[in-house]
Amino acid sequence: MKLHEYQSKALLAKKNLPVPKGVKIDSEKEVPQALKALNTTRGVVKAQAYTGGRGKAGGVKLFENETEAIAFTKAMVGMTLVTHQTGPQGVKVEHILIEGATDIVKEYYVAILIDRAAAAPVLMISPDGGMDIEAVAENTPERILKLILPIDQALDKDLCNKAADFLGLETALYDEFAFVIRGLYEVFTENDAMLLEINPLVLTGDHHLSIIDCKFDIDDNATYRQLESGGNPNAEKTKAEIEAAQWGMTYIALDGKIGCMVNGAGLAMATMDSIKHYGAEPANFLDVGGSANEEAVAKAFEIISSDPNVECILINIFGGIMKCDTIAKGIIAAVKTVGLKVPLVVRLEGTNVTLGQELIKESGLNIISANSLADGAKKSVALLKN
């Protein structure tokens, strides 16, 4: 679940962390009142979108007066922001964060994220803030320090000082920096975060630290207890992905032409590998899980069929908890409801497989049976070439 910058900074402000005062607005008509609340005529207008690289894409603009702030806001609201992270489709901007100007002397990078190899949170810092951390890692990896953080404990003084020293902070700022990263770690743990990225953390003209930007991602598994954060659990999800999730299924869109319905992540990978082996690419895969009922299977078929890139559908199910006859009934019901616009290949194996195959055969529908995964993939690819 992702949070916008203004939502992330609100969480940080609750810990008295140094974030600039800002106002979230949705229209250029709100600019005068926002500037009045901020008591400034100089500042920055920032598009609120779930992506990095907003500045380079025109989503961050410095203004010197109210007229500029209004013009920048009007241009941003409703725009499609295209960055290196969004792809060519971009994301639509609906909200704006307007903040007063900050006198920036130096920029730093600070992030807390989950290191799966270490099975622990890690603090990742660099004195090269304001840049893409990927570029820093590739070109000057020695400019990045990673420190494994203790779980369920406050960060000790030695760790904080080691991080401050790596950033090149003056000794007079060590205590202030320790307060910042300890507060960030509290926010990270209390909100079940996967990533809390501050880029940049800056040294200001009055010799203090300030959090200028914040990216915050919350673990999807904790969505049920973190909804008060205001985050969007469906951020970056397509309509098909959202609909599948509502039925307890997982849908992933890809770039090929063969739609895949499977049950289980392992079977999904094997099915897609087989399709590629025989010379084609999967258009998507939809994992119906191990306990889907007839109605869910029918919905899965409907979702896959709605993808305009699909020119053939391969259903590859191993019946265990979900029996093959249940799957067959769901497929038959879906075909009768949605219609069969592209070739359909079905491979069933497992519990009640014979009954499932008989139901499909007796349905009278134009469904092609396969007796193995390889056979199903081969037939699906061959149908594309016809």
Residue 109 appears among annotated catalytic residues: yes
Alpha-carbon dihedral of residues 142, 157, 169, 177, nearest 10 degrees?
A: 110
Q: Which amino acid, one-letter code, is at 319?
A: G
Q: Which of 91, 87, 134 is nearest to 111 (CA)?
A: 134
Active-site residue, from 108, 109, 185, 251: 109
Q: How many of the other CB atoms lie within 10 Å of CB of 37?
A: 13
Among residues 218, 222, 216, 219, which one has the least CA distance to residue 4?
Answer: 216
CA distance 386 to 374: 19
Residue written as token pair 């078929």: 301
Using the Cα atoms of residue 369, residue 375, residue 377 and residue 380 in order, give the sign of their dihedral. negative
What φ, ψ does residue 305 adopt, rounded to 5°?
-65, -20
Q: Which residues of 209-229 are buried (b: 16+ CB within 10 A; e: fewer)?
A: bbbbbbbbbbeeeebeebeeb
**Three-state SS letters, 107-169:** EEEEEEEEECCCCEEEEEEECCCCCCHHHHHHHCHHHCEEEECCCCCCCCHHHHHHHHHHHCC
The answer to whether 70 and 98 have CB atoms below 8 angstroms apart is no
User: Residue 15: phi, psi to the nearest 5?
Assistant: -95, 10
User: Catalytic pick from 107, 197, 241, 349?
Assistant: 197
Whether residue 185 lies in the annotated active site: no
Using an 8 Å Cβ cutoff, are 266 and 320 in contact?
A: no
Contact yes or no for 340/310 (Cβ under 8 A): no
Tokens standing for residue 70: 């209004």
Side by side, the strands of the sheet bearing 60-63 are 22-25, 95-100, 43-48, 60-63
Active site residues: 109, 197
